[in-house]
């Protein structure tokens, strides 16, 4: 039975989802994007409650209440730096829900279910179950509950692919024999195991990209379930989710110059990579006062922020330093690497929060030619995205990744807490270059000290 109100609300909801993605693509309109996404979901929930009001409405309302009670604190209290693992957890819940609804639909309709519907259902259950365990492992790695190192062993690709083959074979068998419910259990078990094996063999550094790929799996499985349940909104929302996750994964892997195959099966990150002779090299460490003297005479400064700025919540201190420099007539720009931080746009969001004018943010391709003519580059808690090994060391896991050419400025000020490597575990040669001044400490504290030291300098 068609309900014009429900169908109309579904259209409104779908339009709001599309607008949400459109607005999210730009920092200046991202709040509107967030609003549209929330509004679209509220309309979708309202329409669904109306559409299924004759069937156990109390169960639906109960599910909404449980979701709100569990989801609100997760949404409100999770730190910005933990958003990737929070996203992994929501994919885990979403994909498990899709897989379980698919299984329920099978038990409701079998054995009279037609072959086409059952093949779609089987495919979505395989994707849903593997996304559940894959996302749970991604969450555990990013949250530090288990080691971020890839679990590597001989023949792991054959074991993983063999497990996937069992899941696919069980799906085919189920389609041919719809009454054989045991095949569904085999399908579910093999898909769950495959998700686990796939992600446990991937290093923690690749988890954000893996999450984007799993996001696309979850979306595709939701869209497939929409076909089975004849729910058009689920088809639209699942397709948007699936395609945006895929596009995000492509953007991230391009920015790292890596292929999906390399990310999923390369086992990158098993070891911490140091450069030849690394042990004997000595970095030069300086104080905030030393750096203040250098900055005082700088005519041009480029600030390169990274994950450490997010950890230290140093974006406001960065802006204050930039303001102080600009007040002295120094030209200040911010260099934004597409995968600085832990998610695309991470730096843009933090700097926008600190009211940094959008025109001062320079994308990598545009800012890189400017480094050779720049007096000082100030690296604030970035590491991998500045590592020259990406340009020079063919044996480095970072080789080929486009980086910010901060080392080409006359002086590099590097602010971080220790000499440790970044997310990828690769030692950074930049620490030891003669034009690099290492200032060790929490980014917010160092920048605050630096600002105070600059103010104390007499003209």
Q: Which is nearer to ligand NAP, 254 or 366 (CB)?
A: 254
Phi, psi of 426 (to 5 degrees): -100, 125
Those residues whose C-beta lies under 8 Å from the C-beta of residue 274, and which sit 6 or more positions away, are: 427
Residue 384 known to be catalytic = yes
**Are 353 and 310 in contact, with CB atoms under 8 Å apart?**
no
Q: Which is nearer to ligand NAP, 136 or 424 (CB)?
A: 424
User: What are residue 334's DSSP bridge partners?
Assistant: 303, 361
Q: Does 344 bind ligand NAP (CB under 6 A)?
A: yes
The mark string for 401-430 relative to ligand NAP (x by CB under 6 A, - otherwise) is: --------------xxxx-x-xxx------
Q: In the complex, what is the shortest distance from the CB of residue 260 to ligand NAP, in angstroms, rounded to a whole number?
A: 13
User: Which H/E stretch holds residue 332?
Assistant: strand 331-336
Q: Does 343 bind ligand NAP (CB under 6 A)?
A: yes
Q: Which is nearer to ligand NAP, 33 or 381 (CB)?
A: 381
Structure tokens at 254: 């391009």
Q: Does 266 bind ligand NAP (CB under 6 A)?
A: no
Match 């929409």 to its residue by tokens: 226
Q: Does 256 bind ligand NAP (CB under 6 A)?
A: yes
**Are 128 and 215 in contact, with CB atoms under 8 Å apart?**
no
Q: Is the peptide bond before 352 cis (omega within 30 degrees of 0)?
A: no
The mark string for 362-381 relative to ligand NAP (x by CB under 6 A, - otherwise) is: -------------------x
Q: Does 341 bind ligand NAP (CB under 6 A)?
A: yes
Match 């690394």 to its residue by tokens: 278
Q: Does 264 bind ligand NAP (CB under 6 A)?
A: no
> Which of 86, 149, 333, 346 lies at the binding interface for ligand NAP (CB under 6 A)?
346
Q: Does 383 bind ligand NAP (CB under 6 A)?
A: yes
Pairing of strands 300-305, 436-440: unpaired
60: three-class secondary structure by DSSP? helix
If you count them, how many residues does the chain have?
A: 459
Those residues whose C-beta lies under 8 Å from the C-beta of residue 116, and which sit 6 or more positions away, are: none
Q: Does 204 bind ligand NAP (CB under 6 A)?
A: no
Q: Does 311 bind ligand NAP (CB under 6 A)?
A: yes
Radius of gyration of the chain (CA): 25
Q: Does 450 bind ligand NAP (CB under 6 A)?
A: no
Cα separations (Å) of 22 from 15, 31, 234, 342?
A: 11, 11, 19, 22
Q: In the complex, what is the shortest distance from the CB of residue 306 to ligand NAP, in angstroms, rounded to a whole number?
A: 3
Q: Which stretch binds ligand NAP (CB under 6 A): 95-103, 127-135, 338-346, 365-373?
A: 338-346
Count of residues in contact with ligand NAP, rule CB under 6 A: 32
Q: In the complex, what is the shortest distance from the CB of residue 220 to ligand NAP, in angstroms, rounded to a whole number?
A: 21
Match 């957890």 to its residue by tokens: 89
Report the C-alpha gap between 297 and 294 in whole angstroms: 6
Q: Which is nearer to ligand NAP, 99 or 318 (CB)?
A: 318
Q: Does 400 bind ligand NAP (CB under 6 A)?
A: no
Q: Does 316 bind ligand NAP (CB under 6 A)?
A: no
By beta carbon distance, the residue nearest ligand NAP is 422
Q: Is 330 left (phi over 0), alpha (psi -120 to 50) or beta?
A: beta
The mark string for 47-86 relative to ligand NAP (x by CB under 6 A, - otherwise) is: ----------------------------------------
In the set 384, 405, 407, 427, the catalytic residue is: 384
User: Which H/E stretch holds residue 72?
Assistant: helix 57-77
Q: Does 208 bind ligand NAP (CB under 6 A)?
A: yes
With 0-12 / 13-18 / 19 or more C-beta atoms within 10 angstroms meaning exposed / middle / buried, residue 279 is: exposed
Q: Where on the chain is the footprint of ligand NAP (CB under 6 A)? A: 205, 208-209, 252, 256, 306-308, 311-312, 339-344, 346, 381-385, 415-418, 420, 422-424, 442-443
Provide the annotated active-site residues: 384
């Amino acid at each position: 039975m068609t309900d014009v109100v429900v169908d109309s609300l579904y259209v409104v909801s779908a339009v709001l989802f599309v607008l949400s993605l459109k607005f999210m693509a730009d920092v200046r309109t991202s709040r509107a994007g967030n609003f549209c996404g929330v509004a679209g979901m509220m309309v979708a929930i309202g329409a669904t409650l109306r559409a299924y009001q004759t069937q156990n409405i109390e169960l639906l309302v109960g599910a909404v209440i449980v979701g709100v009670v569990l989801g609100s604190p997760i949404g409100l209290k999770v730190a910005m730096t933990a958003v990737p693992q929070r996203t992994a957890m929501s994919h885990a819940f979403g994909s498990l829900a899709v897989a379980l609804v698919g299984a329920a639909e099978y038990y409701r309709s079998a054995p009279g279910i037609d072959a086409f519907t059952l093949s779609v259902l089987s495919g979505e259950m395989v994707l849903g179950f593997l996304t559940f365990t894959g996302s749970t492992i991604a969450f555990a790695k990013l949250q530090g509950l288990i080691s971020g190192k890839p679990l590597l062993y001989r023949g792991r690709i054959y074991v993983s692919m063999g497990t996937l083959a069992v899941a696919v074979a069980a799906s085919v068998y189920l389609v041919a024999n719809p009454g054989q419910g045991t095949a569904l259990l085999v399908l579910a078990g093999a898909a769950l195991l495959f998700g686990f094996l796939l992600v446990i063999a991937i290093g923690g550094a690749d988890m954000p990209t893996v999450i984007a790929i799993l996001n696309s799996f979850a979306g595709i499985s939701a869209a497939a379930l929409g076909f089975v349940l004849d729910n058009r909104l689920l088809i639209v929302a699942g397709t948007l989710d699936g395609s945006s996750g895929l596009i995000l994964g492509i953007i991230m892997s391009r920015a790292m110059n890596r292929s999906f195959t390399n990310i999923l099966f390369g086992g990158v990150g098993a070891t911490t990579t140091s450069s030849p002779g690394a042990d004997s090299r000595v970095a030069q460490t300086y104080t905030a006062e030393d750096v203040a003297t250098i900055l005082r005479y700088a005519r041009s400064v480029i600030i390169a922020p990274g994950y450490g700025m997010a950890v230290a919540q140093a974006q406001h201190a960065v802006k204050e330093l930039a303001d102080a420099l600009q007040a002295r007539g120094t030209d200040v720009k911010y260099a934004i690497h597409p995968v600085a931080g832990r998610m695309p746009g991470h730096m843009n969001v933090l700097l926008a929060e600190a009211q940094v004018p959008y025109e001062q943010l320079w994308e990598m391709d545009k800012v890189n030619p400017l480094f050779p003519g720049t007096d000082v580059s100030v690296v604030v808690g970035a590491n991998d995205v500045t590592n020259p090994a990406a340009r020079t060391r063919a044996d480095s896991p970072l080789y080929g990744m486009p980086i910010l050419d901060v080392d080409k400025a006359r002086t590099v000020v590097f602010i971080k807490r220790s000499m440790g490597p970044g997310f990828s575990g690769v030692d950074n040669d930049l620490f030891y270059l003669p034009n690099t001044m290492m200032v060790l400490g929490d980014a917010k504290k160092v920048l605050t000290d630096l600002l105070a030291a600059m103010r104390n300098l007499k003209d």
